[in-house]
Amino acid sequence: MIDGVARLGAWVLRTIERLGFASRFFVAILRFSGASFSRFRLTIREIYFEGVMSLVIVGVSGLFVGMVLGLQGYDTLVRYGAADSVGVLVALSLVRELGPVVAALLFASRAGSAITAEIGLMKATEQLVAMEMMAVEPIARVVAPRFWAGVISMPLLSIIFSTVGIFGGYLIGVVMIGVDSGAFWSQMQASVDFRDDVLDGIVKSFVFGVAVIWIAVLEGYDSPPTAEGVSGATTRTVVTSALAILALDFVLTALMFRGT
């Protein structure tokens, strides 16, 4: 019993220590970010590996999510004679919530875990130390470009997700089920506000992007330089990112959509 409490205490202390390290690491990334922009080619390369390579999964998932929203939404709305509003349902759900959140979750699982594994393996095979010995700061050369690439890619992916989803909702609602196309779009236009809904969604995806990529590079950089260490770090990235995304989503939604 006492042992359990002691372990809990130790865990809390370790977590606080880790949080401190994570914060200092974040500041270090910002400090060494100069090269990410002056040598933008480095960042572009990472945008390719993180963003472009995630396009397929984001696009396909967006399409299916939009189609399901259309299907489920129609099923419920038609009972109240409000089938014309299925466009509103699909668009608002995607733009405000599902776009940022689901795209961020997918990004964390695909790109986040890949980055953790990559950096972790570079650490395990002494590539980072080798770089250090060549007087090249690893954080500036390896970590920062990946960080900024993630921050840039995340909102882009989220917007694409929402758009493809809306198109999926259109496919189901108008093309398949037969809701009036004019009503579909005009209702949507009347209800989706660019500043309140779309921009807020983009702000959300930006925040998620920062969180996910920060966790990913941190876990990779801090991972034990062994096979088990890297695999554990990769798993932690996905799990911690998912929790962070959902928690931040709650906080941001409460702040933004208070409905006052």
Partner 1 sequence: MNRNRAVDFWVGLFVLAAIAALIFIALRAANASSLSSAAVYSVKGHFNNIGALKVRAPVRAAGVLLGRVTEISFDPQTFEAVVTFTINAKYPFPKDTSAQILTSGLLGEQYIGLTPGGDTADLKDGDTLEITQGAVILENLIGQFLYSKAAEGGMDKSGGSPGGGSSAPGPGAGPAGGAAGGAASAGGPAGGASPAAPASGGGGAAAIPSPPGMAAPAGSAKGEGKR
Partner 2 sequence: MPEKHAVRLASVAFGYDDKRRVLQDIDLVVPEGKIVALMGRSGCGKTTILRLIGGVHRATAGKVEVFGEDVGAVDTDGLHRLRQKMGMLFQFGALFTDLSVFDNVAFPLRERTGLPERLIHDLVLMKLEAVGLRGARDLMPHELSGGMARRVALARGIALDPRLMMFDEPFTGLDPISLGTIGRLVRALNDALGASSIIVTHDVQESMQIVDYIYFVSDGRVVASGTPAEIRASAHPFVRQFVHAEAEGAVPFHHPAADYRSEMLGTVAA
127 binds, among partner 2, partner 1, none (CB under 5 to 8 A by kind): partner 2
**120 or 155: CB nearest partner 1:** 155
Contact region with partner 2 (CB under 8 A), list: 61-69, 78-86, 120-128, 143-151: 120-128
Question: What gap in Å lies between CA 213 and CA 218, rounded to an integer?
Answer: 8
User: ∠ at Cα 241 (93, 213), nearest 5°?
Assistant: 100
Half-sphere exposure of 31 (CA within 13 A, CB side): 9
Q: Which of 97, 132, 180, 249 binds partner 2 (CB under 8 A)?
A: 132
Binding of residue 141 to partner 2 (CB under 8 A)? yes
- Of 158, 153, 194, the C-alpha closest to 62 is 158
Which token pair is 47?
């945008």
17 binds partner 2 (CB under 8 A): no
User: 96-135 mask for partner 1 (x: CB under 8 A)?
Assistant: ----------------------------------------
Sequence-separated (6 or more) residues with CB below 8 Å from residue 31: none
* CA 87 to centroid of chain Cα atoms: 25
Q: What does DSSP assign to residue 1?
A: -
Q: Buried b / exposed e across 89-98, counting CB within 10 Å, b at 16+? A: bbbbbbbbbb
Instruction: Please report whether residue 204 would count as binding partner 2 according to CB under 8 A.
Output: no
Question: Rule CB under 8 A: is residue 4 a binding residue for partner 1?
Answer: no
Q: Which of the listed partners (partner 2, partner 1, none) does 198 bind, with a CB threshold of 5 to 8 Å by partner kind? A: partner 1
What is the C-alpha separation between 6 and 2, in angstroms, rounded? 6
- Whichever of 127 and 231 has its CB closer to partner 2, that residue is 127
Q: Among 22-30, 55-63, 94-102, 133-141, which window interacts with partner 2 (CB under 8 A)? A: 133-141
**Residue 66, class by beta-carbon neighbours within 10 Å (0-12 exposed, 13-18 middle, 19+ buried)?**
buried
Residues lying near partner 2 in the complex (CB under 8 A):
121-122, 125-127, 129-130, 132-136, 141
Residues lying near partner 1 in the complex (CB under 8 A):
41, 44-45, 47-48, 51-52, 55, 91, 95, 153, 155-157, 159-160, 162-164, 166, 185, 188-190, 192-198, 259-260
